[in-house]
Amino acid sequence: MTRYWCEWAWIAGTAVGEVLATVENGRFAAVDFPVAAPPPDAVRLPGLTLPGLANSHSHAFHRALRGRGGDVNGTFWTWRDAMYRVAGRLDPDSYRALARAVFAEMALAGVTCVGEFHYLHHGPDGKPYGDPNAMGDALLAAAADAGIRMTLLDTCYLTSTVDGRPLAGPQTRFGDGSADAWTSRVSGLAAGPGHRIGAAIHSVRAVPEAQMPAVAEWAAANEAPLHVHLSEQPAENRSSIIHYGRTPTAVLADAGVLGPRTTAVHAVHLTDADRAALGDSGTTICLCPTTERDLADGLAPASALSDAGCAICVGSDSHAVVDMFEEARGVELHERLRTGRRGLFVPAYLVAAIAGVGHPALGWRDAGYIGVGARADLVTIALDTVRTAGCRPDAAVFAATAADVRRVMVDGREVVRDGRHLLVDDPARDLATAIAAVLP
């Protein structure tokens, strides 16, 4: 049993002073406040201690593209070409090395659980590896190496266009051929103490409507989360209208994909009917503000989605930035740009997006809050840095950055102390080495 005395801790939607959290077997056994004087045996945590942060949407290998330039007069689609060149060079060993460094970067940023939207399944020629889940297993091992939990959102990816053109070139390795073949491969993956297996439909571009129900049924049968990219770019909507006569949201709704266990990622270009369908079905929305700005995706109608009944979580997606505070306040700041109004999302809502909403969206209902019985994940940020000094603890989400994270605990195990990763010696060096190895 270990006791932690938090100067401030995030409890039930606000910052509470002088909190004593007792951790036993990786879970909170007691949470008491106020406890004015820290007991002598307690570990003192100055600053603000948050629940573990969930990064609900990640493609680990995209990290190799950060800060490489080359996007002059570019679009989402020219960026995708560059991304495919990296995708073509990864194998299970190089992917494990890269992902381990990326997940270590996430741990330093306070991420205790990542949703890895994984579609790089097979060899570059499309032939399965000897172990057909070698790439997924490499990602699971990388998360374990870096000390964070993962939901592997194994992704069905079958076609290159909405009208069903076959995969070609770098996309060949993404494909299983059919949703049934995807199901049988995914059934070879098993959950473990630090990871879960979830399902993903890449998008309406990559999975024909007729193939979607098999993926949704696998997720339902396994009580697994189901994620899907939705309307990130207007071109996807145009193709969907031409081919199906319906928006991507309507196609997903008709195929039985939407629902309370489903998370739609991006949801930028929506009609009123789309928003109603997402809200009425209880679908969660994952926004990725730093990626959506980096890739010129547009501004999602976040407050309208919230008003429609959707819960909102966030992800760092392409990892142009790995900073969950920047993602969280991006939800509000993008909405300010879109609407000309401030304060549509209060700090408690934004903290929920990175903690209490994200974890269940990844299938972890016992994480994302500091309370008796929950997984003992704690993220302590300093309130005495040049960024955070003077801010109110309950509004620190508007001031803090990943660089203010001092201490991270995952399932009761300390992973970051004094801003240093305890399991990965030098994540920056490892990132540089792993990225150099996979750049074309």
What SS3 state is found at 61? helix
Return the range that interacts with Zn ion (CB under 5 A); candidates 13-21, 191-199, 310-318, 411-419.
310-318
Rounded to whole angstroms, what are the CA distances from 149 to 52, 101, 115, 220, 357? 10, 15, 9, 22, 16
Q: How far is the CB of 27 from Zn ion (least distance, A)?
A: 32
Give yes or no for a contact between 379 and 385, defined as CB atoms under 8 angstroms apart.
no
Three-state secondary structure string covering 405-421: EEEEEECCEEEEECCEE
Size of interface with Zn ion, in residues (CB under 5 A) = 1
Q: Of the two residues 154 and 317, which places its CB atom closer to Zn ion in the complex?
A: 317
- Segment 235-264, which members bind Zn ion (CB under 5 A)? none
Q: How far is the CB of 59 from Zn ion (least distance, A)?
A: 5
Return the range that interacts with Zn ion (CB under 5 A); candidates 190-198, 275-283, 311-319, 355-363.
311-319
Amino acid, single-letter form, for residue 247: T
59 exposed, middle or buried (CB, 10 Å; 0-12, 13-18, 19+)? buried
Q: How far is the CB of 201 from Zn ion (least distance, A)?
A: 12
Q: Of the two residues 11 and 98, which places its CB atom closer to Zn ion in the complex?
A: 98
Of the residues 317, 404, 411, 430, only one is catalytic, namely 317
- Segment 312-331, which members bind Zn ion (CB under 5 A)? 317
Determine whether 317 is an active site residue. yes
- Segment 10-69, which members bind Zn ion (CB under 5 A)? none
DSSP string over 255-316:
TT--STTEEEEE--S--HHHHHHHHHTT-EEEE-HHHHHHTT-----HHHHHHHT--EEE--
Edge-to-edge strand list for the sheet holding 14-24: 27-32, 14-24, 2-11, 43-51, 378-381, 405-410, 413-417, 420-421
Q: Of the two residues 195 and 229, which places its CB atom closer to Zn ion in the complex?
A: 229
Q: Of the two residues 74 and 412, which places its CB atom closer to Zn ion in the complex?
A: 74
**Beta strands 14-24 and 27-32: pairing type?**
antiparallel
Q: Of the two residues 317 and 326, which places its CB atom closer to Zn ion in the complex?
A: 317
**Beta strands 2-11 and 405-410: pairing type?**
unpaired
Of the residues 57, 59, 266, 421, only one is catalytic, namely 266
221-254 b/e (C-beta count within 10 Å ≥ 16 → b)? ebebbbbbbbbbbeebbebbeebbebbbbbbbbe
Q: How far is the CB of 78 from Zn ion (least distance, A)?
A: 17
- Distance, in Å, from the CA atom of 440 to the CA atom of 274, rounded to the nearest integer, reads 40
- Distance, in Å, from the CA atom of 362 to the CA atom of 227, rounded to the nearest integer, reads 9
Q: How far is the CB of 229 from Zn ion (least distance, A)?
A: 6
Q: Which residue is nearest to Zn ion (CB)?
A: 317
- Distance, in Å, from the CA atom of 272 to the CA atom of 322, rounded to the nearest integer, reads 32
Give yes or no for a contact between 180 and 226, defined as CB atoms under 8 angstroms apart.
no
Determine whether 163 is an active site residue. no
Return the range that interacts with Zn ion (CB under 5 A); candidates 104-112, 273-281, 309-317, 419-427.
309-317
Q: How far is the CB of 57 from Zn ion (least distance, A)?
A: 6
Q: How far is the CB of 317 from Zn ion (least distance, A)?
A: 5
Q: Of the two residues 157 and 345, which places its CB atom closer to Zn ion in the complex?
A: 157
Q: Of the two residues 154 and 430, which places its CB atom closer to Zn ion in the complex?
A: 154
Active-site positions read: 266, 317
Residues that bind Zn ion (CB under 5 A): 317
